[in-house]
Amino acid sequence: MKTLYFTIAIALFTALQTNAQRPKEIKNSEVKGIYLTLSDFKANKLTIPTDKLHDGDKINLKQFFISPEIISIEQDKETVYYKDSIFAIQLVNGENYRFINRTPCLIADTSYLFIYTNKTTKTEYKTSGPHRRSKEVPVTYYYFSVGNHEPVLMLNLANLRKYALTDSLVHKTVCDLYTTDEMLSKVNPQTGRFEINETMISVFTKK
């Protein structure tokens, strides 16, 4: 009996830890509006498809089945927006998210490169003797876009060199200062901007 209680306790503890690490899903009620295009985003022209003042008014992100659609209902009129066609959504707290492979990713920095983050979990496996155990661990994925901001790419040195470092001086400076992919995710705590963006801005400012 003690063994059973111990096993149940371990299972509950593991479940609690997993839920604590799992990122919080955006609630439909948290969505304020939609930026239909990049131009709208730059001009802060937010489309608010429903005022949520009538019974049944809502914006449904349809995240559970990773749907390609966002459904807006205003006075029983349904409007469909496609996640790969709009530029971003804005939450009531002011945060902006762009859908990358239908996953909402925070637009974390737009000072030069547009940098996006996705905080999630991944499963790691560990073998101990005859037993193989799994554990959910937190992980953050980083993406970027540049120019017309299509496409969105993983933030790594290979992609930066190929798509973003077209200026020879910027290319040399970035390659000299950043030697690993992990260095690209560093944020300046004083400004809240990614250091890679501050480096690129600094080079262009001095030219």
- Per-residue pLDDT in tens (0 to 9) along the chain, 207 residues: 545 444 443 444 444 444 444 467 899 999 999 999 999 999 999 999 998 889 999 999 988 768 999 999 999 999 999 999 999 999 999 999 999 999 999 999 999 999 999 999 888 888 777 777 888 889 999 999 999 999 999 999 999 999 999 999 999 999 999 999 999 999 999 999 999 999 999 998 886
Altogether, the residues listed in the chain come to a count of: 207
Report how far residue 167's alpha carbon sits from residue 119's, in angstroms, rounded to the nearest whole number. Answer: 31
Per-residue model confidence (pLDDT) at position 14: 44
Query: Two tokens at 184?
Result: 């690209």
Whole-prediction pTM? 0.84
Q: Rounded to whole angstroms, what are the CA distances from 99 to 33, 41, 85, 131, 176?
A: 14, 14, 9, 38, 32
Q: Rounded to whole angstroms, what are the CA distances from 53 to 72, 74, 76, 171?
A: 13, 9, 12, 52
Tell me the CB-side half-sphere exposure of residue 129, using CA atoms within 13 A.
Answer: 1
Contacts of 124 (CB under 8 A, 6+ apart): 134, 135, 136, 137
Closest C-alpha to 112, from 36, 176, 170, 67:
170
Report how far residue 125's alpha carbon sits from residue 200's, in angstroms, rounded to the nearest whole number. Answer: 39
Q: Which amino acid is at 175?
A: C
Question: Do residues 103 and 141 lie in contact, with contact meaning Cβ atoms separated by under 8 Å?
Answer: no
